[in-house]
């Protein structure tokens, strides 16, 4: 899955990754069901749907776009805003077509 799919299908959270009952876990944990922006990128890298180079580029692209540390920025946003920025980055970096997708 792409990072945006983890955010949308699994769930979005503040500050890291969380298991089903809300306890904090690492983004690669098999019990993780929700991720923050950075965690969704790390999870996609862990699951080998993107490689480390692409993960780094996504992090850098988003940080430049939001003009902030993405972890701090994530915690000031809504799920819709985070998804919008992640999809924009995927469109630009990975050439994903979201024309028919709405946030």
Q: Say if 102 falls within a structural domain.
A: no
In a domain, 71, yes or no: yes
Q: How many structural domains is the chain composed of?
A: 1
Task: Give domain status of residue 13, yes or no.
Answer: yes
- 102 or 54: which carries more pLDDT confidence? 54
Please give the C-alpha separations between residue 88 and each of 6, 22, 50, 82, 91, in angstroms, as whole numbers.
15, 28, 16, 10, 5
Confirm whether 16 is domain-assigned.
Answer: yes
Indicate the burial class of 20 (C-beta count within 10 angstroms; 0-12, 13-18, 19 or more): exposed
Is 81 inside a domain boundary? yes
Question: How would residue 99 be classed by pLDDT, with cut points 50, 70 and 90?
Answer: low
The parent domain of residue 83 ranges over 3-94
Q: Is residue 103 part of a domain?
A: no
Q: Over the chain, what is the mean pLDDT?
A: 91
Q: Is residue 100 part of a domain?
A: no
Q: What is the pLDDT of residue 102?
A: 45
pTM of the model: 0.89
| pLDDT tops 80 at residue 50 | yes
- pLDDT of residue 18 exceeding 80: yes
pLDDT for 53-75, tens place per residue?
999 999 999 999 999 999 999 99
């Amino acid at each position: 899955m792409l990072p945006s799919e983890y955010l949308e299908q699994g769930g979005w959270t503040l500050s890291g990754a969380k298991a089903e009952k809300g306890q904090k876990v690492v983004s690669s944990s098999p019990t993780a069901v929700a991720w923050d922006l950075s965690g969704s990128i790390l999870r996609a890298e862990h699951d080998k749907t993107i490689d480390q180079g692409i993960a780094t580029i996504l992090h850098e692209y988003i940080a430049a776009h939001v003009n902030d540390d993405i972890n701090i920025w994530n915690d000031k946003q809504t799920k819709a805003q985070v998804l919008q920025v992640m999809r924009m980055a995927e469109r630009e970096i990975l050439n994903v077509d979201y024309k028919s997708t709405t946030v």
